[in-house]
Every structure is written in structure tokens, then in C-alpha cells.
Amino acid sequence: MISSAATPGPLPLFHVVGFSGHRQLSDKPRVAAAIRSALESLRREAPGKWIALSSAAAGADLLFVRSAMELGMGWEALLPLPLVEFERDFPPEEWTEVKALIALAKHVEIATPGGSREDSYLAGGLDVVNRCNVLLVVWNGRPARGKGGTADVVAHARGIRRPIVIIDSETLAISRERFDQLRFDDTNPR
């Protein structure tokens, strides 16, 4: 007789929340609170385990990483550049903190190199969108100031009909797009 403890149960359900956001923020504490609120809302709405996926760029990325980890979510880092190159984007005192956060990631991967620095940031942002179930962004709604900015990431997510949670970087209003496309269970549609 086989005991029920030896009988395999259903596999756990996993969801991936990807992230992109601006580097320059006027009110980091309020943005961090909005990110945390959006993450808590996703966790309440969906059964299973949530995994955070993002880069660790200055600004909103770091707020997202800290919020996800404080909520007990596993974080996977998808960096645009190898560490020695990525480090050049930070002042030395900030890099120490970023390096320590990266060391806590469950998995670290470098996006496929795309040539220029901007190409690498764009490739990383697009890769986050391609790997997530829902994209969370901190965005002012305006076009990107350079290739690979948050607007480019949002445009790709919209293009592939990815569900998006948008936190307006100025007003902190939270809106959602395409949540009718998001499945919170593992049932197959008929």
C-alpha cells in the first residue's frame, strides 16, 4: 500500500512579474510604496508563487527588487551587460549596494548582447517582457529619451498583448491593461 505522503501532488503554480521603470524619480519612497502595493495586489489575486524578474538599474529597478524581496518573492536578475560593464553605470557607493543585491538573486543572467550599450538595455527589457506573465512598469507615459527606455519596453509588451500594470511615475496612479489576457490558473482553455 502506498501512503498518501508518497503520492505526488499537483505541481506548484508559478507566475512571473517582470519590471521596467525610470531611473530618475522625484519621490522614491512613494514610488516604492506604489510598487509594493501593486505586487501585493497581484499576490492576493492569484494563487501560487510569484517570481520577480528585472534588471538592477538605478532608480525604479532597485525599488522593485527591494520590494519583491521584502515580500518574500524570489528575484531573478536579467542584466543588460556583464557585471564589469554594468558597474560603469553606477557611482562606486551605489555599486556596492547593487552588487550585494545581485548576489541575493536566485538566478543571474546577462541579456543577449546587442552591440551598443543602448542595444543591450533594449534587449534586456524585451527579454523581461518575453519571459513574464505580467509586466509592472513605473512610467510617465512619454516616449523613451533613448533606445531601450521604458516606453520601448511598454510598446513591446503591448505589441505581444502582455498584461501590464502601469504606475504613473509622476501621479503614482495605477492602471492595468490587458488583464483579460492574464490567466491566474493552469487550466487549459477549451
Where residue 127 sits, what CATH number does that domain have?
3.40.50.450
The per-residue pLDDT for 2 is: 42
**Into how many domains does the chain fold?**
1
The per-residue pLDDT for 145 is: 83
The per-residue pLDDT for 8 is: 56
Q: Are 76 and 53 in contact (CB under 8 A)?
A: yes
Q: Which is higher by pLDDT, 184 or 120?
A: 120
Confirm whether 140 is domain-assigned: no
Nearest CA to 86 among 54, 114, 105, 58? 58
State the sign of the Cα–Cα–Cα–Cα dihedral 124, 125, 129, 135: positive
Confirm whether 9 is domain-assigned: no
pLDDT in tens, 127-162: 999 999 999 999 999 998 888 889 999 999 999 999
Residue 92 has pLDDT above 70, yes or no: yes
Confidence band of 114 (pLDDT split at 50, 70, 90): low
Give me the phi and psi of 154, to 5 degrees please.
-65, -40
Confirm whether 1 is domain-assigned: no
Confirm whether 124 is domain-assigned: yes
Residue 50 has pLDDT above 60, yes or no: yes
pLDDT in tens, 15-47: 999 999 998 899 999 999 999 999 999 999 887
Confirm whether 7 is domain-assigned: no
Task: Tell me the mean pLDDT in the region 175-189.
Answer: 72
Confirm whether 141 is domain-assigned: no
Predicted TM-score (pTM) of this structure: 0.89
The domain of 96 spans 18-133+146-181
Confirm whether 88 is domain-assigned: yes
